[in-house]
Amino acid sequence: MARINLLPWREELRQEKKKEFLVQLAGFCLIVLLGCFMWVRSMDSAIDSQRYRNNLLQSEINDLKKKVAEIQELKKKKKELERRMKVIQDLEGKRSIIVHYFDELAKAVPDGVYFTTIERKGSMFTIQGVSESNQRIADLMRNLDASDWFSNPNLKSVVADQALGANAGVFEMDLNAVLPEGQGEKDNNG
């Protein structure tokens, strides 16, 4: 006898295919969600790693900035010390020069002339003094002009003063101090 299936087999097949599709869809969604979760976790890990490296680099940069600032400060101190050393060396090298100036002044002063004040500003000397006569002042100027240590004596004024003597006068003059050739090396070496 022939069997006739009256059950709606097509409907069962559709239901079975629908279940299979839904299971596959759920599995696919689960795989996609798992993949997204793994991707988000790896990105978070990469971001955290980069932040750690950035923080490490920033701390190293800050340390280097501090070291650069220290180096700049040390360079400033070094320049200041070098400047001070140069000043000290210059003073040591030139300390005997003033002795030469006074020695030359003493040699240049003729009898009958004496100084009341001597001022020095840079290389310019201003001398005030008293002379028995104008001839003595002229002798002084010739002697200073002939000196290797002085140049350009310039008589600014001569004022007669009868209280000091018949031909006596008070004078004021300017002259330049010079360093003779080779004298700077002698004083620095000696």
CATH number of 97-189: 3.30.1360.100, 3.30.365.10, 3.60.15.10, 3.30.70.380?
Answer: 3.30.1360.100
Q: What is the mean pLDDT of the chain?
A: 87
The per-residue pLDDT for 190 is 46
- Residue 44 clears pLDDT 90, i.e. is over it: yes
Of 126, 141, 114, which Cα lies nearest the Cα of 173? 126
Mean pLDDT in residue range 135-144: 89
Task: Output the pLDDT for position 45.
Answer: 96
Look at residue 40 in the predicted model and tell me its pLDDT: 96
Whether 88 shows a pLDDT value over 90: the answer reads: no
Which ranges of the chain would DSSP assign to H, the alpha helix?
9-94, 97-108, 134-146, 183-189
Phi, psi for residue 101 in degrees, rounded to 5:
-60, -50
Whether 6 shows a pLDDT value over 70: the answer reads no
| CA of residue 21 relative to chain centroid, distance | 80
**pLDDT score of 187 more than 60:** no
Q: What is the pLDDT of residue 32?
A: 96
Q: How far, CA to CA in Å, does 144 sit from each of 97, 124, 188, 189? A: 16, 13, 25, 27
CB burial of residue 184 (10 Å; 0-12, 13-18, 19+): middle
